[in-house]
């Protein structure tokens, strides 16, 4: 990755009448990066991507592609390309004609066009025999690959993706996620991707931006967002999580309802300090919670009743109601499964290295 960003947004605002959809967004995307924007419905993802590709105009702020300001440049003059969810392929044309379409627009000679189309079929791992196949004869996954090949035929500076896999079934989506990741590394292009799906974002992206109400709540690598979310919103958005409201005590320790805290020494030694009387949210992901036998110890202990278990394939998920009435989620690999029946009294434990403190949330 190079140091100068390929794409820069400065204080980008988008209003629809009196409603503000984007509230002064700043963003740098690096050359060659796979950057994903995730957020709930209505958070502003599509609005953002429409501004980036030039389908809509900013109300205020600047968008830069390297050294060129592009926010006033019409979509057809921007050296970027978008892959739509709906694909927008020409159904009556062949696969080859679809892929060659951008090259035809540029008046490239027929032999060159065909050569490039066949290279792109190779890149997308489609057989050369598909060149003459009708789009209507292709499966959903094949159409998706043709759409990608056509997008790459534009040779864009950046490829934008607006939920391209959301209409596909689970297996195909999983396959294409991996193919997109591999395509990204083979082409070296900058990919900007939007999705509802956290899993999709985690599998493919170099960095993820979490969007909430027209602003970025956190932008970081997947591990950081998963393990060290800046807010309760990000913690809850990034998968199953257990959260405990806690507060700092006069002795530098921590106190919380329904949770026994046995952090040896000062909580400050573990980066868990809260000023006396201030509150925070202690987070532990379900895979880090252990079922304890009565003699075992842990830095944090919670007592409760096993309410339910669900088989998730390789893992089992448990729901435990704590003495404070909170429902916790625990996940164990099958070989580490807890064997008691529903209604069993259980003791749960987890340790300082697996918790994260969200301050002021």
In residues, how long is the chain?
361
Cβ pair 45, 37 in contact under 8 A:
yes
Rule CB under 6 A: say whether 98 interacts with ligand ATP.
Answer: no
Q: What are phi and psi of 200, to 5 degrees?
A: -60, -45
Residue given tokens 């003495």 in the structure block: 323
Q: What are phi and psi of 355, to 5 degrees?
A: -110, 160
Q: Cα–Cα distance between 201 and 37 in angstroms, integer?
A: 8
Rule CB under 6 A: say whether 90 interacts with ligand ATP.
Answer: no
Q: How far is the CB of 196 from ligand ATP (least distance, A)?
A: 6
Rule CB under 6 A: say whether 74 interacts with ligand ATP.
Answer: no
Q: How far is the CB of 235 from ligand ATP (least distance, A)?
A: 19
Kindly tell me which residue out of 1, 4, 11, 16 binds ligand ATP, with binding defined by CB under 6 A.
16
Nearer to ligand ATP, 213 or 247 (CB): 213
Rule CB under 6 A: say whether 310 interacts with ligand ATP.
Answer: no
Q: Enumerate residues 6+ apart whose C-beta is below 8 A from 231.
A: 217, 218, 358, 361
Angle between helix 140-153 and helix 110-123 axes, rounded to 10 deg: 130
Kindly tell me which residue out of 4, 42, 90, 345 binds ligand ATP, with binding defined by CB under 6 A.
42
Q: Enumerate residues 6+ apart whose C-beta is below 8 A from 356.
A: 227, 228, 229, 282, 283, 284
Q: How far is the CB of 13 from ligand ATP (least distance, A)?
A: 12
- What are the b/e assignments for 304-334, b being 16+ CB within 10 Å? bebeebeeeeeebebbbebeeebebbbbbee
Nearer to ligand ATP, 16 or 310 (CB): 16
Q: How far is the CB of 18 from ligand ATP (least distance, A)?
A: 10
Q: How far is the CB of 241 from ligand ATP (least distance, A)?
A: 22
> 62: which strand partners?
10
Nearer to ligand ATP, 41 or 76 (CB): 41
From residue 143 to residue 182, the character string flagging contacts with ligand ATP as x (rule: CB under 6 A) and all else as - is ----------------------------------------
Residue given tokens 């006396």 in the structure block: 276
Q: How far is the CB of 40 from ligand ATP (least distance, A)?
A: 7
Residue given tokens 């925070």 in the structure block: 280
Rule CB under 6 A: say whether 39 interacts with ligand ATP.
Answer: yes
Kindly tell me which residue out of 2, 3, 18, 19 binds ligand ATP, with binding defined by CB under 6 A.
19
Strand 279-284: give its sheet, edge to edge: 254-256, 242-248, 279-284, 355-359
Nearer to ligand ATP, 196 or 303 (CB): 196
Residue given tokens 């794409």 in the structure block: 7
Q: Which of residues 184-213 bind ligand ATP (CB under 6 A)?
A: 196
Q: How far is the CB of 20 from ligand ATP (least distance, A)?
A: 9
Nearer to ligand ATP, 41 or 250 (CB): 41
Residue ranges in contact with ligand ATP by CB under 6 A: 16, 19, 21, 39, 41-47, 196
């Amino acid at each position: 990755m190079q140091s100068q960003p390929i794409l820069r947004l400065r204080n980008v605002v988008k209003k629809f009448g009196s409603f503000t959809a984007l509230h002064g967004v700043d963003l740098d995307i690096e050359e060659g990066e796979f950057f994903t924007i995730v957020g709930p419905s209505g958070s502003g993802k599509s609005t953002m991507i429409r501004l980036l590709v030039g389908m809509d105009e900013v109300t205020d702020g600047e968008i830069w592609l390297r050294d060129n300001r592009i926010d006033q440049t019409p979509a057809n003059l921007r050296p970027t390309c978008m892959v739509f969810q709906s694909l927008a392929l020409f159904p009556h044309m062949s696969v080859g004609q679809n892929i060659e379409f951008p090259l035809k627009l540029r008046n490239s000679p027929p032999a060159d066009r065909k050569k490039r189309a066949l290279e792109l079929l190779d890149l997308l791992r489609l057989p050369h025999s598909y060149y003459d196949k009708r789009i209507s004869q292709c499966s959903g996954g094949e159409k998706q690959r043709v759409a990608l090949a056509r997008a790459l035929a534009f040779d864009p500076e950046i490829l934008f993706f607006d939920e391209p896999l959301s209409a596909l079934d689970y297996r195909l989506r999983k396959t294409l996620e991996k193919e997109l990741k591999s395509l990204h590394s083979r082409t070296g292009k900058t990919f900007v991707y939007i999705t509802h799906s956290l899993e999709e974002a985690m599998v493919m992206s170099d960095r993820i931006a979490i969007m909430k109400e027209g602003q970025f709540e956190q932008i970081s690598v997947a591990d950081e967002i998963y393990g060290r979310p800046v807010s309760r919103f990000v913690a809850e958005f990034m998968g199953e999580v257990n959260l405990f409201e806690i507060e700092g005590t006069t002795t530098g320790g921590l106190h919380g309802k329904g949770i026994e805290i046995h952090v040896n020494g000062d909580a400050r030694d573990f980066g868990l300090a809260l000023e006396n009387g201030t509150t925070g949210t202690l987070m532990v992901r379900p895979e880090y919670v252990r079922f304890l036998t009565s003699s075992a110890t842990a830095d944090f202990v919670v007592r409760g009743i096993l309410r339910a278990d669900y088989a998730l394939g390789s893992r089992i998920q448990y729901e435990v109601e704590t003495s404070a009435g909170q429902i916790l989620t625990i996940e164990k690999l099958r070989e580490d499964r807890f064997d008691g029946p529903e209604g069993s009294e259980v003791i749960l434990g987890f340790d300082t290295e697996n918790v994260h403190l969200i301050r002021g949330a």
